[in-house]
Amino acid sequence: MRTLTDLFFPPRCVVCDGILRDFEHGICMRCRPAVHQIGAPYCMKCGKELRDDAQIYCADCQVHAHDFDSGRSLLLYNEPMRKSIYRFKYDGRKEYAAYYGQILAQTFAQWIASVNPDVLIPIPLHKDRLKKRGYNQAELIANALSAYVSVPVNNRLLIRGIRTEKQKELNVSERENNLKKAFKSTENDVKLYSALLIDDIYTTGATADAAAACLKEAGIRRVHILTLCIGRNT
């Protein structure tokens, strides 16, 4: 049922940004075929989709020891989702977060319950980047997700003390070096057992590793990562 607000600010497709019809929700019927949901089999470490049922880990996780304990992701980071996330992050389309949080909750409620996080922690932005953008897209997703899974969000425990280069412009080794000591915990002895990191995109896992390592140094025993999109298994 459309509201009066919808008449002036009609809901839009999070993929193409077109106005949704009355029976559409979140993603229009035209865009649904272009959105690929990650399914089984998937990497038991990072959550990337696998090509072979006999595989347990993706090519990256077979050779790279991650600091986070496990991860899942909802959608393949293809061209339609690249455009969607760009608008979400840089064009002020903050309203996309409501749908993102809802579909993450619907898809991963059971997995989230299994890892039993004490808290949701959005990957933070550096204060300069946050001031320029005006909001942290990961925090918006975390807040929307929290409303469905009843796990509180803590956006103060983890901070980004160093302004790093944009990860998408770097190769794998440069991404790891770029994030060394980028994150800091605001507490030295955190009395939490499990945390779930929230971010928009997982590519190499360098961001998740750096954040997880920081949180574990602060005392959290297990750290998992949930993202909206993830890259292909190479």
Q: pLDDT value at position 3?
A: 53
- Banded model confidence at residue 157, pLDDT cuts 50, 70, 90: very high
Mean pLDDT of 39-46: 96
Q: pTM score, two decimals? A: 0.90
CATH 1.10.287 for the 36-230 domain, yes or no = no
Residue length, the chain?
234
- Banded model confidence at residue 2, pLDDT cuts 50, 70, 90: low
Percent of the chain with pLDDT over 70: 89
For the chain, the domains span 1-34, 36-230
Packed helices 79-90 and 96-115: angle between N→C axes, nearest 10 degrees: 110
Return the structure tokens found at 166. Answer: 């944009």
Judged on CB neighbours under 10 Å (0-12, 13-18, 19+), 126 is: middle
The closest alpha carbon to 231, from 209, 200, 210, belongs to 200
Above 50 in pLDDT, residue 147? yes
Above 60 in pLDDT, residue 212? yes
- Banded model confidence at residue 162, pLDDT cuts 50, 70, 90: confident
Above 80 in pLDDT, residue 165? no
Helix, strand, coil percentages for the chain (3-state, nearest 5): 40, 20, 45
